[in-house]
């Protein structure tokens, strides 16, 4: 069973049909929507400020979500994939987004719909990533525009796959 911990009077709220890996950690002011999956060693620390996660979001192995005390929150839209070992710190991730493996997205950044943050990218604080773009590098910069249909199709496929994968683990737990 995942570690679900209350702090400062806040207890995480978990939606329906959510898979939580046994060693995932969810702390404090965290609300997770429906059809989500929080994978092995992922940490969602809502101890110093809030974390809001939409529907059909997967937060993969080793990812960390955190905030700045009284200064930033994490907001994640629907149909979002946060890949292995990514860090989201006080940023807003809009709908239909892929955050690549090992990417770091810092405070007050907004990642627009149908966008991709490439693996290993470091997105500095206050960056605005326009919808339908790919950002990469350190510091991250716009690499190119992409058609919303292209990203939506790829991002939808990843989100659907993770929903399927989580079903495998739920079957094993019965």
Count other C-beta atoms under 10 Å from residue 88's C-beta.
30
Domain boundaries, the chain: 3-173
Strand partners, 81: 58, 98
pLDDT given at position 153: 82
- What the block records as the tokens of 126 is 């206050």
Q: What's the count of helices (H) and strands (E) in the chain, helices before strands?
A: 1, 20
pLDDT given at position 149: 79
Q: Which residues of the chain have pLDDT under 70?
A: 174
- What the block records as the tokens of 95 is 């709908």
**What CA–CA distance (Å, rounded) separates 130 from 164?**
30
Q: What are the angstrom distances between the C-alpha of 51 and each of 13, 73, 110?
A: 11, 6, 15
pLDDT given at position 152: 74
pLDDT given at position 162: 96
Query: To which CATH superfamily is domain 3-173 assigned?
Result: Hexapeptide repeat proteins (2.160.10.10)
**What CA–CA distance (Å, rounded) separates 20 from 163?**
12
Residue 65 CB-density burial (10 A; 0-12 exposed, 13-18 middle, 19+ buried): buried
- What the block records as the tokens of 101 is 């493996």
pLDDT given at position 174: 60
**What CA–CA distance (Å, rounded) separates 52 from 72?**
12
Q: Are the C-beta atoms of residues 122 and 139 closer than 8 Å to each other?
A: yes
**What CA–CA distance (Å, rounded) separates 102 from 91?**
16
pLDDT given at position 22: 95
């Amino acid at each position: 069973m995942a570690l679900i911990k209350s702090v400062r009077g806040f207890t995480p709220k978990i939606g329906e049909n959510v898979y939580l890996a046994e060693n995932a950690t969810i702390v404090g002011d965290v609300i997770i929507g429906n059809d989500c999956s929080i994978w092995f060693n992922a940490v969602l620390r809502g101890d110093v400020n809030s974390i809001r996660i939409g529907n059909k979001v997967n937060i993969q192995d080793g990812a960390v979500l955190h905030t700045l005390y009284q200064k930033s929150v994490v907001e994640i839209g629907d149909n979002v994939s946060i890949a292995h070992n990514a860090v989201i710190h006080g940023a807003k991730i809009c709908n239909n987004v892929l955050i690549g493996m090992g990417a770091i997205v810092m405070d007050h950044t907004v990642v627009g719909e149908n966008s991709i943050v490439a693996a290993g990218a470091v997105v500095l604080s206050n960056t605005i990533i326009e919808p339908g773009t790919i950002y990469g590098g350190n510091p991250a910069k716009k690499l190119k525009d992409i058609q919303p249909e292209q990203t939506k199709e790829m991002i939808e496929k990843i989100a659907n796959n993770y929903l399927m994968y989580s079903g495998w683990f739920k079957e094993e737990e019965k």
